[in-house]
Amino acid sequence: MKHHAYAQTPPLGWNSWDCYGASVTEEEVRGNADYMAEHLKAHGWEYVVVDIQWYEPGAYSSRYRPFVPLEMDEYSRLMPATNRFPSAEGGGGFRELADYVHGLGLKFGIHIMRGIPRQAVHADTKILGTDVTARQIAHPNSICPWNTDMYGVDPAQEGAQAYYDSLFELYAQWGVDYVKVDDIADSRLYGYHEGEVELIRRAIDGCGRDMVLSLSPGPAHVDRAEHLIGHANLWRMTDDYWDHWFLLRGMFERCEAWAPHVGPGHFPDCDMLPLGRIGIRSVDGGDEDRLTRFTRDEQVTMMTLWSLFRSPLMFGGELRSNDEWTLSLLTNDEVLAVSRDGHEPRPLPRRAGDPDSVRIWTSRRPDGGLNVGLFNLGDEPAEIALALGEIASAPDARVRDLWARQSEAAPEGMLRAQLPPHGSRLFAVSAAE
């Protein structure tokens, strides 16, 4: 499928939601892009994504203001709020900001909501290139339960495709490389919006620019996997994910269900990494302006699972506030290679005698070896012992601890790890030379 070529490996980037909610500014986007270019680009990080409501002049946090005026052009298309994105003045949209990001050697992304703006429908504004108006293609009973900005689009109506075509033609003019579409992978009211997904796929295919398509929020349903693979690059398999241990523990079950559907160009998405300084103006995760609640062991466990499973890695914190520890999580090239080059992520079947807190995951390495993750999901320390023969490796295989970046012995063909509560280890197991 053509669109799979746009993201052969899981995207790595920054998204503004966890730290700025709906209120990020151009200065903040540029600042985080500068940091990525200086500290992360050499390690494969490349996407800078402006999340929701960049078109809302009065946005101040992740609390949405209902039924407020939005910036919009004459053709029913939302435009950046110029008080927050000054370079958009004069109708240029995100072109100048995207050029700045591209000039750093990075890629630029935006968030949009499915559908057409309510204010366009109420004003009955035009659809570019047609005699159709917003009211004629709107589906007023198809609404988002948590945001009032949009009505759904009725795919059966003449002009529906033309509307989405006009959106993505505009985004192509701006230089957008990545689009995250919300309220579409699973609406709390209406389920999966298959028809609008197909409109969007056709619009991207016809816009003349390669764009990665990410669908939110979740949980997307596994019985829709083939349609998702056929139309998108990424899709959320969870609702908004924050820095709570119970959410991280629950992600193991979600990953088990979706593992068979991971492949080049199509990646189930565990959601953003709530690491570093988050909640600056985003209140969904708890107290404002704070550091992640995850312990260091939990942070390593999350990065290990996301990398083995090959989830997209989208950092949610304010990059410029990173300490050395947080930066080290993002710049371990041996761990990032597991995300980039691994394939066929799988959980090992539960073994007799293991407590329920033990999880073991593997993925295949390009050299024919295996990446092996050992996880202790319990609240007490635990030892995990794994015979290398259980994972079809020779007993004299070479073992390397990828977080520590050092080789280890495996006496008698056994891989052993003493793990703290909520802790993990990540190994590369390769045939002996």
| Model pLDDT, residue 395 | 64
Tokens 């409109």 sit at which residue?
199
Burial of 135 (0-12, 13-18, 19+ CB in 10 A): middle
**Which parts of 287-394 fold into alpha helices (H)?**
296-309, 324-330, 333-341
Over residues 382-411, mean pLDDT: 88
Over residues 369-385, mean pLDDT: 96
**Res. 188 pLDDT band, cuts 50 70 90:** confident
Written as one string, the DSSP assignment of 250-314 is HHHHHHHHHGGG-BTTBEEE---B--SEE-SS--TTSSSSEE-SS-HHHHHHHHHHHHHHT--EE
| Model pLDDT, residue 5 | 96
| Model pLDDT, residue 432 | 67
Q: Write down the pTM of the prediction.
A: 0.97
| Least trusted range by pLDDT, from 179-193, 201-215, 314-328, 366-380 | 179-193
**Res. 413 pLDDT band, cuts 50 70 90:** confident
Question: Does the structure show a pLDDT above 80 at 91?
Answer: yes
| Model pLDDT, residue 286 | 63
Cβ contact 361:351 at 8 Å: no
CATH superfamily for 345-430 is: Golgi alpha-mannosidase II (2.60.40.1180)
Among 48-57, 287-296, 353-362, the range of highest mean pLDDT: 48-57
Q: Would you state the structure tokens that stand for residue 122, as one six-digit string? A: 């109420």
**Res. 353 pLDDT band, cuts 50 70 90:** confident
The H or E element spanning position 202 is helix 194-206
| Model pLDDT, residue 285 | 61
Percent of the chain beyond pLDDT 90? Answer: 90
Question: Does the structure show a pLDDT above 90 at 10?
Answer: yes
Per-residue pLDDT tens digits for 325-339: 999 999 999 999 999
| Model pLDDT, residue 301 | 98
The chain-wide mean pLDDT, for the chain, equals 96
**Fold entry, domain 2-341:** TIM Barrel (3.20.20)
Q: Domain extents for the chain?
A: 2-341, 345-430
Question: Does the structure show a pLDDT above 90 at 318?
Answer: yes
Per-residue pLDDT tens digits for 121-163: 999 999 999 999 999 999 999 999 999 999 999 999 999 999 9
Over residues 96-110, mean pLDDT: 98
| Model pLDDT, residue 190 | 85
| Start-to-end Cα distance in the chain | 38
| Model pLDDT, residue 189 | 78
Q: Would you state the structure tokens that stand for residue 184, as one six-digit string? A: 């579409």
Over residues 190-214, mean pLDDT: 97
The H or E element spanning position 402 is none
Written as one string, the DSSP assignment of 219-262 is PPPGGGHHHHHHH-SEEESSS---S-HHHHHHHHHHHHHHGGG-
As a 3-state breakdown, the chain gives helix, strand, coil percent values, each rounded to 5, of: 35, 25, 45
Question: Who has greater pLDDT, 398 or 373?
Answer: 373
| Model pLDDT, residue 424 | 98
Question: Does the structure show a pLDDT above 80 at 433?
Answer: no
Calpha distance 37→363 (Å, rounded): 29
